Structure formats: C-alpha cells, structure tokens
Chain A
Amino acid sequence: MVSLVSFFFLIAPVVCTCYYHVTFNPIEIEPFSFTENTTFGYGELLMSMTTILQHCLTGISLGGAYALIAIGYTLVYGILRLINFAHGDIFMMAGYFMIFALASFPWPVAIIITLVVTTVMGIGIEKFAYKPLRNAPRMSIMISAIGVSYLLQNLSTYIFTAIPRGYPELPYLKRIFRIGELSASFVTILTPILTIILVIILMILVNKTKTGMAMRAVSKDFETAKLMGINIDRIVSVTFAIGSLLAGVGSILYFTDRMSVTPFSGTLPGLKCFVAAVFGGIGNIPGAVVGGFFIGIVETLLIALGYSTFSDAFTFLLLIIMLLIKPTGLFGEKNVEKV
C-alpha cells in the first residue's frame, strides 16, 4: 500500500510537468508523438491529455518489463552483493532464443523453451563465472561480471551479427485495443498485469516457503546463514534461476514492443534496471518494481517531450541524486559497517 501511494506521489509531479509542457509548448512535441490535431484551443488541450495518457500507458508497459529485470538485480545483489552486469545481456540473449525457438516451434512451446534456456543460462553463468570467486575481493567478481557481459555481447555479435534481427510477432500480443480515445496493443496491457501477478507469486515464495526464508537469511547475513547449515550454493542458484526466468519473461514483453534485437540491446536496459533496483532500495522486491515502473514512465515521457538524448542520462542522474539523498533507496534498510 505504502509503495503504491508513494508511487503515485512520485509520478504525479512528472505527469504534471509533462502536461504543462505538452499543453503550453506544443512545439516541443516530437512529430511522431502527436500531430493529427494542430488546431489550437480546447480541442488541442483535450487531445494532449489523451496523448499523455497514451504515453503513460506505453510507459507503464515499458516499466513492467523493467520491473521484471530489476527484480533479478535486486535478488542477486541482496544475496551476493554483486551487480550482475551480465543480467542485461541474459535478457538480450533471451530475445535471440525466442527468435530461434519461434522459427521452429509453435508459440507456447517456444515461450517455454526460451524461458527454460534462459534460466539454465543464468544458473550456468553463476556456476562458471561467480562461484569460483566467492572468496575473492569484491572487485574481481565485479570484473568477472563485466567480463561475462562482454563475452555474451561479443558472442552474440559473432553468432547473430550486429545487424538487428526482427523480433517475431506472437499471435494475440499485437492485437490493438481501443479504450475511448486510447489505443493499445494487448502486450501493453498485459505487461503490467503480468508483472504484478509474477511479483505477488514471488513475494509469496520468498515470504512463505522454506527456500524463500533461506534466501532472506542469506541476504541478511551470508556468513551466519552458512554456519546455520543453509546450502548457500543452492540458494544462489535458485536466486539466479528466478532472476533469469523473470528476465526471460521481461524480454518477451519488451521485445514484442520494440520489434528487433541487437547484441547491444541489453546493455542500457540492464543498467537502467539496476538503477531501478537501487532507486527502490536494493534487496527489496517491491522497491525494484516501483523503481522499474517509475523509470519506464519517466523515460517514455521524456522521449515524448523530445528529450530522447537525455532519457538515458536521466536514469543515471536519478541514480546519483538518489544515492546522495537516500543511499538506501526508497524502501531499503540501513547497513552500518562494524569496526
């Protein structure tokens, strides 16, 4: 509840600002965003309102995909204190898996294959690149994560070439719905709903099951949890599995809307989702979701206002400001280092 309220509290000013811009500075609207109605006066204002709602819808949909990826970052950081730089690339790889799976299987099977392969890849990366460095300095494991990201990007450039690949259309997902003046494809509406459902399931999993309890214990205190006989390796694997699975789902939703995949299309979304996780308070699942939606909406609105060059920069500015004002994020807990 609190998160919901603060969520609206956060986006309200942004929406207002955008509303102001769109209403009073019509020149600043990018041509593609809205041009049909160029008459001034009441009609203009009304249509602008629709435009804003339209963008908000797009933003919420993008935010849903971001939220799903951000959860992966938050879970892994919570447990290993590691920014999994490769997470964005796992998400990108999932895009390619889907392209190839759909080329030879019907779509329900293709989705399952994609999700399974992505999950296995996530677990595999952990076993291969992070596990051997469990006791190494923090910097080594971070470099390893960057290395994996570099490897995945180069590998997919090699295998799939850097030319954007068209993302296949799934049936139903692209069907256009009209709600009054607004129009949206099914995926736009599905994304936030699916995100919320998955998050609720995840929350139940984390709070009610034994594995979930172990996950929370490990993220509170790695060493003690180990001493208490928790099988750390299993918990870490489960964490990576969940993170990658959600990234796989996010990837299907995201790329259906974007229509093409390149080897680098995971980098920026990845970093943004990490920012979303930090924004909501790293280690906190609802926080990551709020952060994901927030960044998705603001980014969409910024693009709509014609500041597309700054939409990426904004995310990082948000990060730096957040870290300075409240380093623990919106819902994070304080952590003091003992001497």
Chain B
Amino acid sequence: MNSKRNTLLTTISFVLAIVFLYWLSANRLQHGMLVSVLQKGVIFALVAVSMNLLNGFTGLFSLGQAGFMSIGAYTTAILIIPVKSLDGVYYMNGVHPFIRAMKMLIADSPAFIQSVFPFIALLLGGLLAAGIAAIVGVAVLRLKSDYLAIATLGLSEIVRAIFSSPNFDQITNGSYGLNKIPNFPEMAWGLIPSLLTPFIVVGVCIAFILLLINSSYGRAFKAIREDEIAAEAMGINLFKHKSMSFVVSSFFSAIAGGLLAMYMRSIEAKTFSIPLTYDILLIVVIGGIGSVSGSIISAFLVTAAKEWWLRFFDQPLFFGDWQVPLFRTGFRMVIFSILLMVVVLVYRKGLMGSNEFSWDRLLGRFKRTGKSEGGRA
C-alpha cells in the first residue's frame, strides 16, 4: 500500500517538476537567476553523484574530478564551437587544420546529425575521459587512501597543465581558453526546449548510476568500501572493480564537464583547478557520503546558496546609516567554509548520512513534527 502511494507521489513530483521546467522555459527572462542556479545545480549534482560513486560507494578517496571534467569540457567545446566562430576563438594562434576540416564536414552534414551532434560530443568527451581513466587507473588504483587522493589531485593538475600549455594551443587555445561555445541544444525537434536539456541528460546519467549502485556490481563496490581484504577473500577482483568504478565516475564527470562548458559558454583551464574539486567535495560531504539523493539535494542547495541566497553576505549592508560590520566581498565563502567545518566536525553524516531519500521518511518526519506541535498546543 505504502509502495503504491510512494510510486504515485514520485510520479506526481516528476510531472510537477517537468511542468515547472516548461513554465520556466517560457518565462526564462523574468527568472534568469533561478534558471541559472537550477542548471548549474543539476550539473554539479551529476559530478557530485559521480564523485560519491567513488568516494562514498567504493571507498576510493579520489580528488581527480576537476581533471576529468576538464577533459569532457574541452572535448565538447572543441567539437561544438561552430565553424564560423573558429577564427574569433583562435584569434591568437590559429586553429588546427584538422579541427577546421572536421567542422566543415559537420556543417555540411544532414540536419539530423547536426541536431544530435552536441550529444555525440558529450558522449565522446565522456568516452575520452573513461579511456584515460582506464589507463591511469592501472597506475593510481594500486595506491592506498591518501596516496590515491594526492595522486588523483596531481593527475587533474597534469591534465590542466596540458590544456593550458602553449604546445597545444592550436587545439585548446592555450591559456586563452575557449569561448563562443553554443548553449544547450534542444531535444526531440524542439519539443523539449533547450532549458530542459541538462536536466534530462543528468537525469538519465544519474538513473544509470543508481541502477549500477543497486546491481550486483554496486554491491561489490560497497564490499570494497567496507573491507578490501574481506572483499578480496570473497572472490571480488579488487583491481577490476575499482577500475570499473573509476572509469564510470570519470565518464560521468566528463559529461558534467561538457554540460558545464555549454552552460558557461566559455572555459579556460583555470576553471578546473583544485578549488573546483574542493567545491564538489563540499557538496558531497554536506549531502552525505554514500547517499545519491543527498548529493543531489546538496548540489542544488549549495549552488543556490552560493550563487544566490547568500550573495548579500558579499554586499555591504546598511541599517539606516549604520553599516553592518563583516559584510563585504569574500564573507560568503568564509561562511561556507565554516559550514563545511561544522558538517565535518559535528554533523559528520551530512544531510542524509548514507541513506537515500524516501517518502516514508519524509512523511514520517512531517507526522512527527505535526504531532509534537499538536501536543504542545
């Protein structure tokens, strides 16, 4: 009975969310901030979930997310910058002839191919990242906890150095970065407006990650997290499973990176430096290590708070003539770091711990608070 109710509630909220997004798409000009926060939030939700797959479900403390995102972002951006913008983008060093040729080819291809090409670009970015993850995984996955952390952090710095190096500036445009990247494409011949695209892509990706986590392989990942030695004694090939998790996580980080490139419209290697990984870690920790829904909720909350709700911390605040002290540029980030420390030190489980969202729990909480309030009255 409960399960029927829950399915119903889930369906209803999905429909409501989609209706809301359509409405938002029609009124996007009045709600620019909301749109941008939601889109950025959903992109970060995907990275956070894929980081959680590694850190929370497989127990591999990896800090290489930013590196894999940059692989996805650069691949996607290079592939989808339209041919007519090329000279404007690569005005300093010129563009590699191969890239130009490829773009001419795409510009001449049938309309259908052109309309799905952005998705192919995302996929290619993901596959490239997955391939690189598979190769470097052979090396770094042999390392234990903190060594792995620092090696993956180093890896993402290496990737960044490669992207910003002058040696490849006909491809990556070196330290100038890439711009004029087209925004999200429409889907299904315009039936799904471009505003919804990131939500759908991320939705599909997270659905896959959830399926994986709840499959037999997902259980094996959790076994590795719980106790590597016991997992190995139960016949689980550690290297194989760790590298699966690493590859899948990198794949989806790269997809998120590609979406981020479309969202930001211009990227440079600096975007993907160490603080980005820390931001993602912040989301994962606040949401709860080992909880997919926690990561998603926290991605939206953190993004909204950072970009929108807490902006006022950065502005001088006046009551009449009296200026409230402390409020000026940078205060917001201080609040954020303190929040992170509080979560780490006091609420170690974050929002969700390692539990997933469930209607029963949510409704149960409402009932309980309702009762206790009633009791007081």
**A158-B330, A161-B330 given; A316·B154 CB < 8 A:** yes
Interface string of A81-102 (1 = CB under 8 A from B): 1110000000000000000000
Contact of B61 among A133, A139, A151, A158 (CB under 8 A): A139
Interface string of A161-173 (1 = CB under 8 A from B): 1100000000000
- The yes or no answer to A225 lying at the interface (CB within 8 A) is no
CA distance A138 to B341 in the complex (A): 16
Q: Chain B: which residue is nearest A317 at the CB level? A: B158
CA distance A327 to B148 in the complex (A): 11
**A143-B285, A154-B334, A313-B162 given; A324·B142 CB < 8 A:** yes
- The yes or no answer to B155 lying at the interface (CB within 8 A) is yes
CA distance A153 to B285 in the complex (A): 19
Enumerate chain A residues within 8 angstroms of B337, measured Cβ to Cβ.
147, 150-151, 153-155
Nearest-Cβ distance from residue B290 to partner chain A, whole angstroms: 10
- The yes or no answer to B331 lying at the interface (CB within 8 A) is yes
Among A301-339, those with CB < 8 Å from B are 309-310, 312-313, 315-317, 319-320, 323-324, 327, 337, 339
Contacting pair A138 B229 (CB below 8 A): no
**A315-B154, A320-B155 given; A83·B146 CB < 8 A:** yes
Enumerate chain B residues within 8 angstroms of A309, measured Cβ to Cβ.
161, 164-166
Among A118-153, those with CB < 8 Å from B are 129, 132-133, 136, 138-140, 142-144, 146-151, 153
CA distance A323 to B142 in the complex (A): 9
Among B158-176, those with CB < 8 Å from A are 158, 160-162, 164-166
CA distance A150 to B94 in the complex (A): 38
Interface residues of A toward B: which range?
35 or more
- The yes or no answer to A207 lying at the interface (CB within 8 A) is no
**A274-B150, A327-B143 given; A316·B341 CB < 8 A:** no
Nearest-Cβ distance from residue A247 to partner chain B, whole angstroms: 18
Nearest-Cβ distance from residue A293 to partner chain B, whole angstroms: 20
- The yes or no answer to B76 lying at the interface (CB within 8 A) is no
Enumerate chain B residues within 8 angstroms of A158, measured Cβ to Cβ.
328-331, 333-334
Q: Chain B: which residue is nearest A338 at the CB level? A: B229
- The yes or no answer to B99 lying at the interface (CB within 8 A) is no
- The yes or no answer to A249 lying at the interface (CB within 8 A) is no
Interface string of B225-246 (1 = CB under 8 A from A): 0000100000000000000000
- The yes or no answer to A157 lying at the interface (CB within 8 A) is yes
- The yes or no answer to A252 lying at the interface (CB within 8 A) is no
CA distance A173 to B338 in the complex (A): 38
Enumerate chain A residues within 8 angstroms of B275, measured Cβ to Cβ.
150, 153
- The yes or no answer to A278 lying at the interface (CB within 8 A) is yes
Q: Chain A: which residue is nearest B284 at the CB level? A: A143
Contacting pair B341 A148 (CB below 8 A): yes
Main secondary structure of the interface of B (DSSP, over half): helix
Contacting pair A151 B338 (CB below 8 A): yes
CA distance A142 to B148 in the complex (A): 12
Contacting pair B149 A142 (CB below 8 A): yes
- The yes or no answer to B344 lying at the interface (CB within 8 A) is yes
Contacting pair B61 A142 (CB below 8 A): yes
Q: Chain B: which residue is nearest A282 at the CB level? A: B147
CA distance A133 to B282 in the complex (A): 18
Enumerate chain A residues within 8 angstroms of B105, measured Cβ to Cβ.
none
26 contacts between A and B (CB under 8 A): A83-B149, A129-B341, A133-B344, A138-B61, A138-B145, A139-B289, A142-B149, A150-B278, A150-B337, A151-B337, A153-B275, A157-B333, A158-B329, A158-B331, A158-B334, A271-B150, A271-B157, A309-B164, A310-B161, A310-B165, A312-B161, A313-B157, A316-B153, A316-B154, A323-B147, A339-B229
Seen from chain A, the residues whose Cβ lies within 8 Å of a Cβ on chain B are 81-83, 129, 132-133, 136, 138-140, 142-144, 146-151, 153-155, 157-159, 161-162, 267, 271, 274-275, 278, 309-310, 312-313, 315-317, 319-320, 323-324, 327, 337, 339
Seen from chain B, the residues whose Cβ lies within 8 Å of a Cβ on chain A are 55, 59, 61, 139-140, 142-143, 145-147, 149-151, 153-155, 157-158, 160-162, 164-166, 229, 274-275, 278, 281-282, 285, 289, 328-331, 333-334, 336-338, 340-341, 344-345, 348
